[in-house]
Structure 1
Amino acid sequence: MSGETTLDLEAYLARIGYDGPLAPTLGTLKGLHYAHALSIPFENIDVLAKRPILLDLASLQKKLVTEKRGGYCFEVNALFAAVLKELGFDVTTLIGRVRWMSPEEVDTARSHMLMRVELPEGPYLADVGFGGLTMTGPIRFDMDVEQQTPHEPRRLLTHEDGFELQAKIAGDWTPIYRFTMEPHRRTDYEVASWYTSTHPSSIFVQFLIAGLPRDGQWLSLFNRDFKIRGLDGKAETRVLDSADEIAEVLDTWFGISLSEEDKALAIEPYLDQWRAMSAG
């Protein structure tokens, strides 16, 4: 159809620094998954700046590839799914309820995008967009089996809500999210993304969140707290005091270059609130 955006695969591969095989195989999936996760950060700068989150392919490529920014799950996973489909992978996009750091009695909405990839070896779960715990490799849809990734182990369990993904952090299994196998379309994610990026109770409209894995470590930024965590769970934390310090950390560690407008809209209006949280 005329007017449709085509994927610029060459630009995407250069963005993530991947020059390996492109055949739709398990090896290719693992290679792309790792390269994408370590190259395109999770971040919500545009949400804090009250800019619309656009999920069409042209907007995703402009932001994540050309402008070398990051995004949250609906953005980074939508781009990754488009790449996999372009390469001939059989991909079904799904949606889940986040359980990370949520008490069992607290209900959570369907607000996280993930995907199922069909391979000759069986179906795999792929997800390059979960903040400071983004998976760095896909895992098989095998239940109650510890599976290694380039970072921490993961496992899938059956649950009354469908399936639950868990991560093993410092020796303990922790719920990450729950999901079903019902396929979802871009319109479904646009509705969920609109709620996530505009509702007053959403963490994304209140707090600065950035995450990026690197070899053997996790980088995370929550408001003013910049943390480097090892796979053993031990972490170093630095508290940032100003918009300039936050911008410097985002640039140096996450590869996100903020403009003066970004700082004025997405950082400075929230600093007093974040300082009060730290003090209280």
Structure 2
Amino acid sequence: MQSPFSQENKPEPAVSGIDLDAYFRRIGYAGERTPTLETLRALQRLHTETIAFENLNPLLGLPVLLDIDSLQQKMVHTGRGGYCFEQNHLLSHVLKALGFRVRGLAARVLWNVPEGEVKAISHKLLNVEVGDDSFLVDVGFGGLSPTGPLLLELDTVQTTPHEPFRLIESSEELVVQAQVKDEWKSLYRFTLREHLLPDYEVFSWYLCTNPNSYFINNLAVARSTADRRYGLRNTVFTTHHLGGESEQRDLASVAEIRSVLEEVFLLTLPDVTTLDSVLQRLIDQAAPIS
């Protein structure tokens, strides 16, 4: 495995079709447009606070398109969010346009996966160079998306605006872990091999078409704020207070789910006739069997 500290084969900045002005308005960023660590930190924090992780398109049977025009239309101009391939691909265009060197990486998810079970590659994250340092950036892991960049340095506890994170090495792969309630939890494992858009289109297509895919059978939504994380899994709405307790509430009606999606997760919901029936199905599935 290539060393995390290696500076060989550095990616070069690429021209991007991103509308930076529109993106910055969307996330509320008014800082410098320079490829510095300060800029990177600000963008990652604001992105995760503004553009919610959500999988409404796969759940509703709508296409997930990864070209830059579609990503901007969905997440920048129409108030939607997306899942990892959308979120991190959009951010990669922003960072490249600012002059950062960016490479796409891919991971196998370990979070909530039984020990020894191997999952298909299903997650995108970014390797971003700032000067001579190399960072991991990920705004698309849902409820535990790191809200700050992680230095590619092994066995070092790294603070973020939310949980502490660290990277460890396991079987010639890197593993990202988060400290949750004083316990280190593995999120995903990956190598430093670069992946390209066609790779992610295949991974995303699989998640949108496999009958057993979590994303076409369940609703998953997440957003962070300065002092908490919000999560919605089907009908269970959770608020995790930073350094404190968690609260859960079962949403019992379509109107309640719609309200939480719009008011807490700041989403403009897709105008499709099937939305309410799909939300009602989730409610019916959650109802206890009498």
TM-score, normalised by the number of residues in structure 2 = 0.91
Decide whether aligned partners of structure 1 residues 39 and 151 sit closer, same or farther in structure 2, where only a CA change above 3 A counts: same
Is the 1:46–1:53 contact (alpha carbons within 8 Å) kept by the matching residues of 2? Answer: yes
Task: Describe the superposition over 1:204-246 as per-residue Cα deviations: whole angstroms up to 9, x where unpaired.
Answer: 1111100001112110000000000112352111100111110
CA distance in 2 between partners of 1:243 and 1:19 (Å) = 37
Which of residues 65, 90, 97 is equivalent to 1:79? 90
Cα shift at 1:265 = 5.4
Matched, 1:115 2:112: no
Corresponding pairs, count: 275
Give the equivalent residue in structure 1 for 2:236. 225
Name the structure where helix makes up a greater proportion of residues: 1
Matched, 1:126 2:137: yes
CA distance in 1 between partners of 2:272 and 2:202 (Å) = 30
1:1-280 superposed matches below 5 A: 6-232=17-243, 234-258=245-269, 259=271, 261=273, 263-264=275-276, 266-276=278-288
Decide whether aligned partners of structure 1 residues 144 and 5 sit closer, same or farther in structure 2, where only a CA change above 3 A counts: closer
- What is the root-mean-square deviation in Å for CA atoms of aligned residues? 1.6
Between stretches 245-254 and 260-269, larger displacement belongs to 260-269
Cα shift at 1:121 = 4.5
Is the 2:235–2:282 contact (alpha carbons within 8 Å) kept by the matching residues of 1? Answer: no
CA distance in 2 between partners of 1:264 and 1:199 (Å) = 23
Matched to 1:14, the amino acid is R
Decide whether aligned partners of structure 1 residues 161 and 205 sit closer, same or farther in structure 2, where only a CA change above 3 A counts: farther
Matched to 1:79, the amino acid is L
TM-score, normalised by the number of residues in structure 1 = 0.94
Between stretches 211-220 and 5-14, larger displacement belongs to 5-14
Show structure 2 runs of 5+ residues with no match: 1-14
Is the 2:239–2:247 contact (alpha carbons within 8 Å) kept by the matching residues of 1? Answer: yes
Cα shift at 1:159 = 1.2
SS in 2 for 1:163: strand
Show structure 1 runs of 5+ residues with no match: none
CA distance in 2 between partners of 1:81 and 1:159 (Å) = 27
Is the 1:170–1:233 contact (alpha carbons within 8 Å) kept by the matching residues of 2? Answer: no
Is the 1:92–1:116 contact (alpha carbons within 8 Å) kept by the matching residues of 2? Answer: yes
Task: Describe the superposition over 1:61-110 as per-residue Cα deviations: whole angstroms up to 9, x where unpaired.
Answer: 00000001000000010000010001110000000001011111211111
CA distance in 1 between partners of 2:96 and 2:277 (Å) = 36
Is the 1:97–1:112 contact (alpha carbons within 8 Å) kept by the matching residues of 2? Answer: yes
CA distance in 2 between partners of 1:120 and 1:219 (Å) = 34
